[in-house]
Amino acid sequence: MPVANLVLAPALLLAILLPGAGSATIAPQKPQPALPQPSLQHQPADVVRIVVEALANNDKPFADAGIATTYAFASPANKASTGPLAKFTRMVKSPAYGIMVDHLEHEFSEVVRMGDRAYQMVRILGASGAEVVFAFRLGLQQDGDFAGMWMTDAVWRVASGGLPAAAF
């Protein structure tokens, strides 16, 4: 018997004696689609639009993807007080912010920039028909992994029932 056959014989014997040996059946993992991330190219209006549109379609492409996107755009200082993601998710789904999740319509005011800060209001029409205006405060990150990127520092309710059209 040639030497090459002697080396292969134990492996062949294992494949015959052990059903499934050599053919592991590991279920392929479905990769999660990439969500939008902070970028040097995003201006303040881009960040607010990305976050608001993600929340309007919260469960696309997977459950709570909109909230995960919103968290990705939260500044490190914001995450320090609202994170981790599970805590942030509970906060966003709370009565104070829940109207933003799967809302029907939104309208943006102009962005007001003041140095490394930017402010923008967003009118939200919730699935219940209620209307709320939120203010977004963004900061231009000065250091770390996000240096030079606009990220959300805070979001708060400004009014219920909307603001005059002149504000938008």
Write a three-state SS string for the chain: CCHHHHHHHHHHHHHHHCCCCCCCCCCCCCCCCCCCCCCCCCCHHHHHHHHHHHHHCCCCCCCCHHHHHHHHCECHHHHHHHCCHHHHHHHHCCCCCHHHCCCCEEEECCCEEECCEEEEEEEEECCCCCEEEEEEEEEECCCHHHCCCEEEEEEEEEEECCCCHHHC
Residue 21 maps to a domain: no
Q: Structure pTM? A: 0.79
CATH number where 97 lies: 3.10.450.100
Residue 94 maps to a domain: yes
The fraction of the chain above a pLDDT of 90, given in percent, is: 74
* Chain segment 61-97, per-residue pLDDT in tens: 999 999 999 999 999 999 999 999 999 999 999 999 9
Residue 16 maps to a domain: no
Domain count across the chain: 1
Residue 131: domain span: 35-167
Q: Across all residues in the chain, what is the average pLDDT?
A: 86
Residue 6 maps to a domain: no
Residue 23 maps to a domain: no
